[in-house]
Chain A
Amino acid sequence: DIQMTQSPSSLSASVGDRVTITCRASQSINNYLNWYQQKPGKAPKLLMFAASSLQGGVPSRFSGSGSGTDFTLTISSLQPEDFATYYCQQSYSTPPWTFGQGTKVEIK
């Protein structure tokens, strides 16, 4: 299975901050990397697919980049509604699809 490692596991930030979350794959996954946001008690919400494609309805302050093994999710200006846990997920080649362990973004 392809292992996905996110860093950091948690971070504290203020409204308006630029936030970057990193996801590393245990082997090259080209750009088959997706990002989700999850709030407590809710299902995950798809933010980005194919590393850098913004899902419809997601604010443009979210962006994604990377290819191969290293990927980033950036929030350009953190808003109050962005405090949540973020997961990366790979969908390269054949299943099983795997997730990173999550990054919790908390209020500083």
Chain B
Amino acid sequence: QVQLQESGPGLVKPSETLSLTCTVSGGSIKNFYWTWIRQPPGKGLEWIGHIYYSGSTDYNPSLKSRVTISIDTSKNQFSLNLNSVTAADTAVYYCARDRWYWGHWGQGILVTVSS
């Protein structure tokens, strides 16, 4: 059974870069799409973007200028970088598998943007 686990700093300063990694275990990262989704505290879900194992990406236009998703197939990991963060980027960040809908999720990681 595939498992996903987010990791990274839980606190990021305003204007800096949020960097998270999702480690995939129990299955190969190849031949799938891998997705990032976030949820501000007490609010709804927002699709950030996804990456295919080959490296092709799609991003939410609302974040496109600030976001980069990358993949390392040798480590079975993919990553999220979000630059120039503000308090509005405070959220639980989830990684998930697949392109159109998501049956496999990480547990989520709370990232707070604060000085």
Contacts and interface: CB of A to CB of B under 8 A. Distances in A.
Interface of A: 1, 32, 34, 36, 42-46, 49, 55, 87, 89, 91, 94-102
Interface stretch (B14-22, B71-79, B80-88, B102-110): B102-110
Contacts of A42: 107
A97 B44 CA distance: 13
A99 B44 contact: yes
Given A43-B108, A95-B58, A96-B61, A55 B103 contact: yes
A99 B47 contact: yes
Nearest to A56: B103
A34 B105 contact: no
A66 to B, nearest CB: 15
A46 B102 contact: yes
A101 B94 CA distance: 17
What secondary structure prevails in chain B residues at the interface with A?
Answer: loop
Interface of B: 44-47, 49-50, 58-62, 94, 96, 99-103, 105-108
A75 to B, nearest CB: 19
B60 A99 contact: no
Nearest to B94: A43
What 10 A-B pairs have minimum CB-CB distances, sorted nearest first?
A: A91-B100, A43-B105, A34-B101, A96-B60, A99-B45, A95-B58, A46-B103, A97-B47, A49-B101, A101-B44
The interface centre, meaning the residue of A43, A94, A99 with most chain B CB atoms within 10 A of its CB, is: A43
A100 B50 CA distance: 19
19 contacts: A36-B45, A42-B107, A43-B94, A43-B105, A43-B107, A44-B105, A46-B102, A49-B100, A55-B103, A87-B45, A91-B100, A95-B47, A95-B50, A96-B47, A96-B58, A97-B47, A101-B44, A102-B44, A102-B45
